[in-house]
Amino acid sequence: MHDEIYDSSGSFFDKYREIIPEFESFMHCLRSPLGNFVRVNTLRISREKLWNALNLRNVRCELTLLNNHFIRIPVDVQPGTLLEYHLGLFHPQTLNSAIPVFALEPGEDDFILDLCAAPGGKTTHLAEMMKNTGLIVANDKNVSRLVALRANLKRLGMVNTVVTMIRGEQYPLDTLFPKILLDVPCSSEGRYMIGEDGKVLHKCRMGRGLPQVQKQLIHRALKILAPGGVLVYSTCTYNPEENESVVQYALDRFDVKVSDINLCFPHEPGLSEWGDTKYDDSIKKCWRIYPHKTDSVGFFVARMVKG
């Protein structure tokens, strides 16, 4: 991947003008740094004690929309330079990226597959919510990203996770999982920002082929999801071809239903249509999360239950 720049102010996002509420506020938000958040590792410390420890280092802490789990710190503070990071007391994580984990509703003694796990922010969040019990299978196909995953598991003290390195589209069919987290590779539009010159800055990723990869991943994930099981599909992009269209693909081919996400958090419903494509009415239960509502990266989350 390498940095690229779209050559005109905001023109890239114009195609989303009709689906993003308060579009001008959205565009304004992308011109400033988004919030800097850390997730408290409650296996080792309480939010209150971490708050006090950071304040003693003159790191000003603020409340968040996920107040029991996240702390906001100044944007000019690099979390990885703090002692508390190396002690495994917190993990730097965007606020909205926690929603897929909450949507999966992990509990103690659960058996969960994180199919595209590296570098491990959501995996370690799962382990924390499971109180280091049960079993997480954390999979990724990229060996360099798995190095980061293993490092984060070790630093945060997670002991209920095994790591596998398999292409998600080819994950073995011999084990069924009651819960699967599928945070797929995506175009990452939710992380794009607008520079001082008004141009859109982003990381270049393979774009046109992504929906096909995402459909292959959700197809395999639903094959290995146990009857009655829950799958959470998520991206950090706004593109309906990577979001609602992939969920529609799953609905058309499997006995699954989109279910409600039981969490109080600012969001917009999934789309009912995009261009000439009409989506199943249940896709409105999916969540679209926008940066100007949460001061964090854009996200899409769908929770599905298998019949």
* CA within 13 Å, CB half, 155: 24
186 assigned to active site: no
Residues 6+ apart with CB under 8 A from 50: 40, 71, 84, 89, 90
Q: Note the residue count of the chain.
A: 307
Closest to 117 measured CA to CA, from 92, 85, 152: 152
Cis bond leading into 119, ω under 30°? Answer: yes
Among 29, 186, 236, 286, the one annotated catalytic: 236
Q: How far apart are CA 133 and CA 147, in angstroms?
A: 23
Closest to 105 measured CA to CA, from 180, 159, 45: 180
Q: Which residues are catalytically annotated? A: 236
